[in-house]
Homo-oligomer: A and B are copies of this chain.
Amino acid sequence: MKKDKITIWDVAKLANVSIMTVSRVISKKGKVKESTRIKIQDAIKELHYQPNVAARSLSGSVSYFLGLIYDNPNEAYLNQVLMGALHKCNDYGYNLIISSFESDTDGNYKIDKALIDRAKVDGIIIPPPLCDSLEILSTLTEANIPIVRIAPQTMLDYSPFVCMDDRAAAYEITEYLINQGHKKIGFIVGHPDHGASKLRFDGMKEALTDNGLALNEDYVQQGYFSYKSGSNCAETLLGLEDRPTAIFASNDDMAAAAISTAHKYGLSVPGDISVVGFDDVPLASAIWPKLTTIQQPIMAMAEKAAEFLMYPDPEKEKDNILDYKLIIRDSVAPLARTY
């Protein structure tokens, strides 16, 4: 009694056309008279027909699969990328295949071509830090697979990408701190392998300079984007004789660590010390006080990346710098003036 799988043939029969015409309608290629298109679309609806990906993929030049590869970045970051890509894929009838590319101890990536060959993906989305690995990029290019990178820092001419202006964002949040009266600003640098770390540091330094402030080397600590590294850096910063009145951590995890370290020292945040982060991951609003931070449009970047791959268009690809947003919450207080 159960209906068998519905194929393009069933649709063709019902609409009284050939399967090729149906194919033209579903893949939006070639010309079909408006009236027949409607007839066919009605038939598709009536039968609840869904084209079979495997067949389309096998036969045609499009696989309807997009790949997303990742190394172990921040979990929340990955999640955002994932959700963004997923949404867009679902919208356009694509599927997303996710695969981890783990680096060996030397930081080299063993390229597992499985993803590539197995599913014949139409393109691959590459978030950081993978997007800055020449090894990966060249392998993919050789295999002739289109890629779109998310927030790459190097080799910007290598491929289409989407990003935000890290430098400008760091500049803005630093200036915000300065406007609140802070002059002694500690900075926790991000992971040296992530190009964004340098940009954020640059933006911060520039804001300092433009406001007539000098950079105090003691106030700069090298972190690695991890909570742990943030703790260590904050430990050093807060242990300083003449400690900063504000700390700018290059991501939220490290900022959260800084807050927690301050608490441990009996310092109130933002009463005794202000802290700002970067990224606006869920953690940022799950801690107390809630973090003032920069909201990265991570999901939007992933959506755009997916779009670029599904509908390549050199024109659109120039519109690839998305807006960040300064999110003011509770972790910064104006500096009480001291004479």
Contact = CB atoms under 8 A, between A and B. Distances in A.
A185 interface: no
Interface in A56-105: 57-58, 63, 75-76, 78-79, 82, 86-87, 90, 93, 95-100
Contacts of A145: none
Given A113-B48, A286-B227, A288-B260, A55 B53 contact: no
Contacts of A321: none
A53 B93 contact: no
Contact of A54 (B57, B257, B285): B57
Contacts of A259: 288
A100 B288 CA distance: 31
A264 interface: yes
Give the interface size bracket for A toward B.
35 or more
A97 B95 contact: yes
A89 to B, nearest CB: 9
A96 B93 contact: no
A159 interface: no
A113 B55 CA distance: 18
B120 A54 contact: yes
Nearest to A63: B54
Contacts of A40: none
A256 interface: yes
A253 B286 contact: yes
Given A75-B282, A95-B97, A96-B97, A50 B256 contact: no
A261 to B, nearest CB: 8
B58 A113 contact: no
A112 B57 CA distance: 22
Given A50-B117, A114-B93, A118-B93, A287 B256 contact: yes
A283 interface: yes
Contacts of A113: 48, 50
19 contacts: A52-B118, A53-B54, A53-B118, A54-B55, A54-B58, A54-B63, A78-B79, A79-B79, A82-B98, A86-B100, A90-B99, A93-B118, A95-B97, A97-B97, A98-B98, A260-B287, A263-B288, A264-B288, A283-B286
